[in-house]
Structure 1
Amino acid sequence: MTSQGSTWPASSGSGRQSRQAERQQEITDVVIAEGTVRIDDLAERFGISAMTVHRDLDELEARGLLRKSRGMATAMSTSLIESSDVYRLARQNQEKEEVARAALDYIEPGQAIFLDDSTTVLRLAQHLHRKTPLTVITNVLTHLNGLNGVRDISLIALGGDYHNWCSAFMGRMTLEAIARLRADTFIMSTAAITDDMCFHQSPETVDVKRAMFESSKRRILLVDHTKFERRALHALVRLEEYDLVVVDSKTDEAHISRMEAQGINVLVAPRAGHTERRRSED
């Protein structure tokens, strides 16, 4: 049972914060689609004051999504945009929920688990109260805020240099802290899968995920079908090195068959109201 003090991103809640988050996501989509948009035009389009647009753009700029200058809002590079947690929170919500709920069955009370900064794992974190007691180890401020006060969840916060675009701590201090720990399970996602290898846009993120991977006994990857259609620059871990790869129900059968042929343990998450489809087991 969560306490009233626990907080999750506004996109999963309601009220003013939720409306603000939805508006910021819509503003982001408009600017990405058009490249550059006048701030006055955004105010007119969304029926809000120019001051409110400026506040929204200040937050979006701090997260690496947009640049604000001389009365204009301009989209940042695609790789920076796709790395931002604000951008990622608005994508594939149903698929992420499917995958997160399926993965929850592989967490046992009493475990110590690493959680990465992916928005798919954020979905799973919101259900962890059902698996207590747990020790959660994370570098993600969103996880720490959301799980703070949840009964029978002990938190270990990994410090370091804070990066607002992903709400996470990274860098040398983070890696040193991870190296001193050993967890039962690491649960993560990735930006892209190419040639059955996980990739990410940010080398700093790759370093943290790889360190958590090496410090865990069991490794679980959560991915929705769109990850097989994307590309990113920095290689992380091959799929065959994971103990379990959880995919959503829209994943192409060709990807599933190929992974199974390589001995990769694949779990296809069921759609709501459907029977779970289990693949090869440990």
Structure 2
Amino acid sequence: MQPSRRHEEIVSVLQRAGEMSVEALAEQLKVSRETIRRDLARLDEAGRVRKFHGGARAVPVAGASEKEGPFAQRMAQNVEAKRRIARAAGRLLAPDDAVFIDTGSTTVFLAEVLAELRSLVIITNSPKIASTVASNGTHKIFLIGGAYGADAGETLGPLALEQIVKFRARCVMLTIGAIDASCIMDYDLQEAEVAKAMIERAERTIVLADHDKFERRAVFEVAPLTAIDTLITDARPSALMTGALAEAGVDLIVAEENG
């Protein structure tokens, strides 16, 4: 099979399946894994697929707004990737640091990491995160109040925003709904407002995003890429995204399986 025809077949397969591993693609197309890796690298550079560690996924239709699934469902997705991201984020903190943490599946895993560190000041709108880090008595924890969102177990709304402005922190660690070459986004207006408020009161902005979030669109913009200091992910993004992050001055950390 000619490479150009094979490339079209890979794109077609991924559009039907959503995502596949290198091994599965190699088996389906009857070629070596090395050939598939080279094909995926070229297709990723062309913006036709999204390559991640061990596989690739289809590129969403341009301009489409995708819905975010229920929180419990998101907690079960990409678990090992989120744990790697959380461990990498924990290494950026030192004793006595004050940190804002918003509510998200990756920041729930982050809370488990922070419970093993010492003497942090943690400001969060997630009761689950607060209770997890509270298992370590050296931490000082502030739980933001407000209207309770049952799905993700978070506090939101005007009361939450009023309380956030009473704090200053060395950094904010955020999860996001989507990221493209211009900005980070969320699917929920109130969650986006909380994230914006935390960014305004923090010296540094650190975004935690697994590979699923790249080159996607959500309804509400949180901040331009230029507002991000550090982005931690589990797989190197496409050439387009890598270039956009570099141009925006974002420090990219890839928490790969080998550490």
TM-score, structure 2 as length reference: 0.71
Q: Structure with the greater relative contact order (CA < 8 A, sep ≥ 6): 1 or 2?
A: 2
The answer to whether the 8 A contact 2:229-2:249 is kept is: no
Which of 213, 216, 227 does residue 199 from structure 2 map onto? 213
Aligned-pair identity in percent equals 27
Alignment of 1:166 onto 2:172: no
Report the Cα distance in structure 2 between the residues aligned to 1:214 and 1:153, rounded to whole angstroms.
Answer: 23
The answer to whether the 8 A contact 2:169-2:201 is kept is: yes
Give 1:145-224 correspondences, 5 Å limit: 145-224=131-210
Alignment of 1:93 onto 2:79: yes
1:134 aligns with: 120
- 1:267 alignment partner, SS class: strand
The answer to whether the 8 A contact 2:235-2:256 is kept is: yes
Report the Cα distance in structure 1 between the residues aligned to 2:96 and 2:248, rounded to whole angstroms.
Answer: 32
Report the Cα distance in structure 1 between the residues aligned to 2:227 and 2:236, rounded to whole angstroms.
Answer: 23
The answer to whether the 8 A contact 2:215-2:241 is kept is: no
Superposition deviation, residue 252 in structure 1: 2.9
Report the Cα distance in structure 1 between the residues aligned to 2:249 and 2:202, rounded to whole angstroms.
Answer: 21
Superposition deviation, residue 245 in structure 1: 1.0
Structure 2 regions of 5+ residues with no counterpart? 1-65
Report the Cα distance in structure 1 between the residues aligned to 2:120 and 2:88, rounded to whole angstroms.
Answer: 18
TM-score, structure 1 as length reference: 0.65
Report the Cα distance in structure 1 between the residues aligned to 2:242 and 2:254, rounded to whole angstroms.
Answer: 8
Superposition deviation, residue 83 in structure 1: 5.1
Alignment of 1:84 onto 2:84: no
- Structure 1 runs of 4+ off > 6 angstroms? none
Aligned length: 195
- 2:161 alignment partner, SS class: helix
Which of 64, 88, 103 does residue 102 from structure 1 map onto? 88
Q: Deviations over 1:190-218 (max 9, x none)?
A: 00113331111110001111001101111
Change (3 A) 1:141 1:214: same
The answer to whether the 8 A contact 2:172-2:206 is kept is: yes
CA root-mean-square deviation: 1.8
Structure 1 regions of 5+ residues with no counterpart? 1-77, 275-282
Superposition deviation, residue 177 in structure 1: 0.4
